[in-house]
Amino acid sequence: MHIQHHPLLSPSLGTQRALTSFHFGQPGSGEKVHIQASLHADELPGMLVAWHLKQRLRLLEDQGAIRGEITVLPVSNPIGLDQNQNGRLLGRFEQMSGQNFNRHYHPMAEPVFAALRHRLGPDAKTNTRLIREAMRAELARQRPQTELQSLRHTLHSMAFDADIMLDLHCDSRADLHLYTGTPLWDQCEPLARYLGACASLLAEDSGDYPFDEACSQPWWQLRELASRAGLATPIEMACLAVTVELRGEWDVDHEYAAKDADAILHFLQRRGVISGDAPALPPLRYPATPLAGSEDLLAPHAGVVVYRAEPGSLLSPGDLVADVIDPVNDVASQVCTEHGGVLYATSDRPYATAGLGIARVAGNTAYKTGKLLTA
C-alpha cells in the first residue's frame, strides 16, 4: 500500500485541507479501480466500508492477490466534514456556495471529441487510450478558483481513467440501492447481485453532472458524437461508474460494512482485479428500472408522518406508504404509490412540511423528463 496526499486550494489564510488516497496493487497491471466514500460528508456508512476495505486489501496485497490498481479514498470531502451547525453535521451542500458537493463536475465529451475527431480509428482499445489522454489534458487545463472547485477537480483527476469507479453514499432511510448509466447495466449487474441491491436505477443523464456520470457519461456521449459525425469508430463503455447508496444515514454498523466490503471484493474478484474464484452470483433482488420511473411521494400537507411500509418493500399500484396526520385540523391523509415498485428510500424525519418528498418508489416505466435527481 502506498499513500498519497492531495492538497486542496487554500480558501483562507492559514487554512489548507487535503485528500488522502490509499493505493493497492500496481498501476498498469490490470484494471484501475477507484473507490471513494462520503462525498456527501454526512453519509458515513461508506467511510466505514472504506476502512474495512483497507484492512482486507492490505492482506490481499501481502498475498500478491491484486491484479491491477485499487485506490481507496475513505474521506472524499474534508470541506463538508468540517461544516457543523448547532451540533449537526451538514455535509451535502457547501455552506459558502450552497452547491451540492456531488454536482457540477466538468463535462468532457465535447472538448475531448473536438480534440480527437480526426484521430479516432478502427481499434476500440487504441481509442480508449487516446480518449483518456485527451481527458487528462482537458482536466489539466482546468484552473480551479475555489476550494470546492479544487475538491471536484482533484476527485475527477483521480478517477476519470478508472475502469471501475464506486462512489459510496447513503440515503436518509433506505434499503441498499444503486445508480448507474443505462449503457453500463450489463457490467453493473453482478455488483447489484453481490451487494443485494433492492433497486438499481438507470439513467443516461440525471442532470447537473453528478460524480459518477462525470466519469462514465463521456463514453456514451462520445459514441453518440462520433455516430452523428458519421464516424464508424468503436468506443467502449470504458468506465463502470456506480453510485452505491449504502442504506440510511444511521446504518453505520460493522456487520453491514463487513458484508458490503466483501460484496465489493467479490465483484472485483469476478472482474479479475483480485485473484481467485468469485463466489457464485446471488439472485438479483429486483430488475433494474429507469431513474425516470422513480416515483416521489409528497406530503399533501404538513403533519406527523407515520410510515406504513418499510424500505425494501415491494408495492403494487395504490399501496399505502405513509399516513400524514394534521392534529390541529383533524386531517389524516394516506400517501399511496400510484405506479408501484420497490420502496427504496424514505425521509428520516417523522414530520413533513407541505409538499415534502417523503418516500421514493422504483417503478419500471419511465414517465419523467428533465433533471432526475433530488437537490
First-last CA distance in the chain: 37
Q: Which stretch binds Zn ion (CB under 5 A): 4-12, 155-163, 169-177, 260-268?
A: 169-177
- Alpha carbon distance 45, 170 (integer Å): 7
Write the single-letter amino acid at 113.
F
Q: Strand, coil or helix: what is 166? A: strand
SS3 of the chain: helix, strand, coil, percent, to 5: 30, 30, 40
Query: Any alpha helices (H) in 73-175, and if so which ranges?
Result: 78-81, 109-116, 124-141, 147-159
Nearer to Zn ion by Cβ, of 37 and 343: the residue is 37
- For residues 120 to 159, the per-residue mask of contacts with Zn ion, x marking binding by CB under 5 A and - elsewhere, is ----------------------------------------
Nearest approach in angstroms of CB 101 to Zn ion is 8
**Can you tell me the distance from the alpha carbon of 72 to that of 58, in angstroms, rounded to the nearest whole number?**
11
Closer to Zn ion by CB, 57 or 178: give it.
178
Tell which one of 32, 40, 177, 223 touches Zn ion (CB under 5 A).
40
Q: How far is the CB of 222 from Zn ion (least distance, A)?
A: 27
Hey, which residues between 287 and 316 contact Zn ion (CB under 5 A)?
Answer: none
Cβ distance to Zn ion smaller for residue 106 or 177 = 177
Task: Between 100 and 364, name the residue whose CB sits nearer to Zn ion.
Answer: 100
* Alpha carbons 193 and 60: distance in angstroms, whole number: 23
If we measure between CA atoms, which residue out of 98, 43, 51, 96 comes closest to residue 72? Answer: 51
Q: Which residues of 236-256 are buried (b: 16+ CB within 10 A; e: fewer)?
A: ebbbbbbbbbbbbbebbeeeb
Q: Which cell is 344 given?
A: 427504496
Residue closer to Zn ion by CB (options 43, 251) is 43
Q: How far is the CB of 293 from Zn ion (least distance, A)?
A: 20
Nearer to Zn ion, 38 or 127 (CB): 38
CB of 374 to Zn ion, least distance (A): 10
Q: Nearest distance from residue 39's CB to Zn ion, in Å?
A: 7
Task: Write down the least CB distance from residue 78 to Zn ion, Å.
Answer: 16
Binding mask 235-274 for Zn ion (x = CB under 5 A): ----------------------------------------
Of positions 32, 67, 169, 173, contacts Zn ion by CB under 5 A = 169
Query: Which is closer to Zn ion, CB of 44 or CB of 158?
Result: 44
Q: Least distance (Å) from Zn ion to the CB of residue 248?
A: 11
Q: Which stretches of the chain are assigned E, i.e. beta strand?
A: 2-7, 18-25, 31-37, 68-73, 84-85, 88-89, 164-171, 173-174, 177-181, 199-203, 240-248, 289-290, 294-298, 303-307, 314-315, 320-326, 331-336, 341-346, 351-352, 357-362
Distance in Å, CB of 43 to Zn ion, minimum: 5
Say if CB 245 and CB 179 are below 8 A apart.
yes
Q: Which parts of 43-62 interact with Zn ion (CB under 5 A)?
A: 43
Strand partners, 15: 12
- If the CB atoms of residues 99 and 142 are measured against Zn ion, the closer one turns out to be 99
Contacts to Zn ion by CB under 5 A: 40, 43, 169
